[in-house]
A and B are shown apart, each in its own frame.
Chain A
């Protein structure tokens, strides 16, 4: 069966510091991968998606970036965090259907 991992689970970072969040999927090949952010009291916002290694599409202009160095690895990065980057970051994967399955998420607090 497929499983999706994210780490770290929680993170507290100062403004201006870099960020790297990692997501890995097991049990499937060539998944579509997604990064979402959920701010407090708000809906999920799609940040990036990837249909293959090195293929990244950005949905929202921001100071975040994503990379997919391996088939089942998706990384979310920032060079300098802003206060507004605080939120719950979720990685998701999908296969041949439109259904998406989420990892446990990373709760980021920028101070």
Chain B
């Protein structure tokens, strides 16, 4: 089983749609969690940290379910500029990156 698993997509959604990504992790000792965004042929950029109580940053909401060992990212009112690969990252003792979920927002 992979340490971090994500649906590779692609998720093709129209502008304005709400889209959700899930990610599961295998190491129950993981203590911190993140979502990164990676544009094509660019470096990953930190989108948001994921806290136990859930957190929101504008149109983005992240949730953590420790019991089921999954993390989610919800994007509301999708913009064309949201098109990217979203990487789920967990930290048992070092950052473990998922292979990413590709989002394509269509006009």
Q: Which of A1-49 contact B (CB under 8 A)?
A: 41-44, 46, 49
**Given A46-B95, A105-B43, A107-B41, do A99 and B100 touch, yes or no (CB 8 Å)?**
no
Binds A, one of B44-52, B62-70, B75-83: B44-52
On chain A, the number of residues with a Cβ less than 8 Å from chain B's Cβ atoms is 18
Nearest opposing residue in chain A for B49, CB measure: A99
Taking a contact as CB atoms under 8 Å apart, the answer to whether A98 and B32 are in contact is yes
Q: Which of B5-26 contact A (CB under 8 A)?
A: none
Taking a contact as CB atoms under 8 Å apart, the answer to whether A102 and B99 are in contact is no
User: Main SS of chain A's interface residues?
Assistant: loop
**Given A98-B32, A99-B34, A99-B49, do A43 and B43 touch, yes or no (CB 8 Å)?**
no
Interface bracket on B:
10 to 19
A100 at the interface (CB under 8 A from B): yes
Q: Which of A37-66 contact B (CB under 8 A)?
A: 41-44, 46, 49, 59
Q: Which of B29-62 contact A (CB under 8 A)?
A: 31-32, 34, 41-46, 49
Taking a contact as CB atoms under 8 Å apart, the answer to whether A43 and B97 are in contact is yes
- List the 3 shortest-distance A-B pairs measured between CB atoms, nearest first: A102-B43, A44-B97, A43-B99
